[in-house]
Amino acid sequence: MRHLYTWASILAVVACSTIGDVLISHAMKRVGDVGHVWNHHGTATVIRRMMSNGQLWLGVFFMALGFFSLMFALSWADVSLVAPASASLTFLTNAIAAKFFLRENVDRRRWVAALLVACGVVLIAG
Amino acid sequence: MSFRKLATLAGVVVFGSAGDVCLKRGMTHFGEITLGNWHVLIQAIFTPWVAIGILLLILFFANYLSALSFADLTYVLPATSIGYIGMALLARFFLHEQISPFRWAGILLIAVGVGFIARGPSLTVEASPAANLPVPEPLARGKA
């Protein structure tokens, strides 16, 4: 039962962080390059574009949900399992989600990078 | 990649790592927090290390949003994972923690992964869902 709770909460962390990252990334592409907009249209435009972007708020909400799931997971299992497991899985799910939902060009180079970093995180935290 | 964009990615790494370290240092004073003594969390916010940690994490988030406005998610995440290496090296040389061969192997894998991603383009231009992205600088110059 403990294993079930631990892994269910780790999966919740991974799902919420991935959804949050994808929504925020999509929202920020619609806002436009912040530095560029800042220089050409001023600070007020940057703030207005960001504040009026519902997707950005939804993304932040999912990030917060992911954070609370992490707290929940930590109350069931050791940080040495929860942190690397959720971080490394998130690298992989983000690559998949970015390819299908954000239509990013996830070529072999990026797959290899995501895989190497995911394995590296597991080793470094282990 | 311009200096501003590199500085933004560096900001994600530095503020994220420093924020985590400050929070960790601040929260060790409070021991375990459960649903029974959740109000300790509110107390914690007003202690110096936790407050500095939160401030640094706000700066991290601002840089993260800015980075995602000019680069792909599958570029930003692996590129900023270099923070894991920085944290491990800080632990080795400032906190004098031992780094096992497994950890060195992890550092090597992340470094190679970051190297892989850094050699490629940072943004998928043609398939981007955004219609209002600024024209990339070389193209803009070519037209002028």
Q: Give B99's pLDDT tier (boundaries 50, 70, 90).
A: confident
Task: Name the residue type at position A42.
Answer: G
pLDDT, position B130 = 52
- Indicate the residue type of A117: V
**Contact assignment for B117 to A105 by CB distance below 8 Å:** no
Within 13 Å, how many C-alpha atoms sit on residue A25's CB side? 26
- Report the mean per-residue pLDDT for chain B: 82
Q: What is the pLDDT of residue A19?
A: 97
Instruction: Give me the residues of A, 91-110, that contact B with CB < 8 A.
Output: 91, 94-95, 98-99, 102-107, 109-110
Whether the ipTM is more than 0.90: the answer is no
CB of A125 within 8 Å of a chain B CB? The answer is yes
Cβ-contact B114, A113 below 8 angstroms: yes
- What is the dihedral sign for C-alpha B24, B30, B36, B39? negative
Q: Give mean pLDDT, residues B106-123.
A: 88
Structure tokens at A28: 């920020």
Provide the 3-class DSSP secondary structure of residue A71: helix
pLDDT value for A98: 95
Among chain A residues, CA nearest to B85: A124
| A117/B81 Cβ within 8 A | yes
- Set of chain B residues whose Cβ sits within 8 Å of the Cβ of A28: 65-66, 68-69
Contact between A6 and A76 under an 8 Å Cβ cutoff? The reply is yes
**Which amino acid is located at B127 in the chain?**
A
Structure tokens at A74: 């930590």
pLDDT at B144: 38
Longest dimension (CA), chain B: 65
Contact B117 A110 (CB under 8 A): yes
- The length of chain B is 144
- In chain B, residues with a C-beta closer than 8 Å to the C-beta of A114 are 74, 77-78, 113
Measured in angstroms, the CA of A100 and the nearest CA of chain B are apart by 11
Q: How far is CA B140 from CA B25, B131, B143, B144, in A?
A: 48, 16, 5, 6
Is pLDDT at B97 greater than 60 in this prediction? yes
Task: Give the pLDDT of residue B91.
Answer: 74
Check residue B133 and report its DSSP letter. Answer: P
Q: Per the structure block, which two tokens stand in for A86?
A: 């959720």
A124·B88 Cβ contact <8 A: yes
The one-letter amino acid code at B58 reads: I
CA distance A18 to A26: 12
B13-67 pLDDT, tens digit per residue, is 999 888 888 887 787 777 766 667 777 778 888 889 989 999 999 999 999 999 9
Contacts of B50 (CB under 8 A, 6+ apart): B22, B23, B26, B27, B44
- The predicted pLDDT at position B143 comes to 43
**Using a CB-CB distance cutoff of 8 angstroms, which residues of chain A are in contact with residue B114?**
113, 117
d(C-alpha A112, C-alpha B32), whole Å: 38
Question: Residue A117: its chain B contacts at CB < 8 A?
Answer: 77-78, 81, 109-110, 113-114
For residue A121, the chain B residue with the least C-alpha distance is B106
Please, which contacts does B42-45 make with residues 24 or more away whose CB atoms are closer than 8 Å?
A: none
By Cβ distance, the residue of A103, A109, A125 closest to B117 is: A109
Contact by Cβ (8 Å): A13, A66: yes
Chains A, B: CB pairs < 8 Å: 144
- Could you say which of A50, A91, A120 has the minimum Cβ distance to residue B106? A120
Contact A75 B81 (CB under 8 A): no
pLDDT under 70 in chain A at which residues? 126
For residue B133, pLDDT beyond 70: no
CA-CA distance, A37 to B78, in Å (whole number)?
A: 26
